[in-house]
């Protein structure tokens, strides 16, 4: 039987957000920073999730947003 996660989608300002469940994060190093990438495969009508480590900060990452 496949594992299934359900998360509530909630409104925050003019956008919608959800949380990433901890069981999906078991294999990452929690001391590092990651981007969560959601991929939709339209051929199979399925979503996939991958985690990309943030290695180098770009100029826009260094700018403080106030």
pLDDT given for residue 59 in this prediction: 62
pLDDT score for 8: 83
Q: What's the pLDDT at 14?
A: 92
Q: pLDDT tens digit string along 18-66?
A: 888 888 888 889 899 888 888 999 898 888 888 999 887 666 666 655 5
Confidence grade of residue 15 (pLDDT, cut at 50, 70, 90): very high
Q: What is the DSSP string of 24-65?
A: GGTTS-TTS-EEEEEEEETTTTEEEEEEEE--S--HHHHSPP
* pTM of the full structure: 0.58
pLDDT score, position 6: 77
């Amino acid at each position: 039987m496949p594992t299934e996660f359900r998360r509530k989608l909630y409104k925050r300002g003019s956008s919608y957000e959800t949380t990433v469940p901890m069981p999906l994060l078991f294999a990452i190093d929690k001391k590092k920073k990651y981007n969560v990438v959601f991929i939709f495969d339209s051929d199979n009508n399925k979503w996939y999730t991958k985690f990309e480590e943030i290695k180098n900060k770009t100029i826009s990452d260094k700018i403080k947003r106030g």
